[in-house]
Amino acid sequence: MKNYEYIIASLPALSQDWKFPQDRNFSSYIEEIKALADASDRKAIDALLSGYEDKNLNEEFYGKMLSCKDKFLKEYFAFDLKVRNGKARFLNKAFGRKENQDTISLETGIEFTEASKLEAALAQTDLLGREKALDDLMWNKISDITTFDYFDIDAVLGFIAKLHIIDRWLSLDEQTGRQMFSKLVSEVRGTFKGVEYDPRKIEDNRI
């Protein structure tokens, strides 16, 4: 990935009444980011995006992500699998089905310390509140994974993952989506503020 500063420069200036322009959406941001990427980084981006298609979320896909070299993809999808299995078990209990029905049994090698937070989120009776709690859980995990990532592909993958959450909320609740986008812009600009850019320090992460 080259030209990280251009990604930041492409973000809109925000105001209290800011909305997504009619000609801008999740896909258009991804196109802009991929236009600045090299072949290996586009491969990592495509791997992340493929995980947003339900048809791909099977044992083969998760197995590939859990064994890939990229830190973000491995930890993100390990967490995603833990959350999805947790949702399945929650529903199984509610409907009197076998505990592990519709779960994927793969060893992630990563401790799921957020189990109690997931249970609390799933226990909410308000549907929007439940979805917001689940996305907050994922948002915070993305932040944890990319804590020390600045000018590398994982920082960009984290940005895309959060942008995907925002895109979903724009269809569920526009006000919430706008607030989350404002938070993302602030996070990214805060990360880059005061960080000296040295392309020689960029790690060549590959899947």
E-state strands within the chain: none
* Residue owning tokens 């959350």: 83
Q: CA–CA separation, 60 vs 68, rounded Å?
A: 12
| Mean pLDDT within 29-55 | 93
Backbone angles phi, psi at 100, to 5 degrees: -100, 20
* Residue owning tokens 């322009």: 21
DSSP H/E element including 137: helix 127-145
| Mean pLDDT within 79-99 | 95
pLDDT in tens, 56-78: 999 999 999 999 999 999 999 99
Instruction: Classify residue 52 as left (phi > 0), alpha (psi -120 to 50) or beta.
Output: alpha
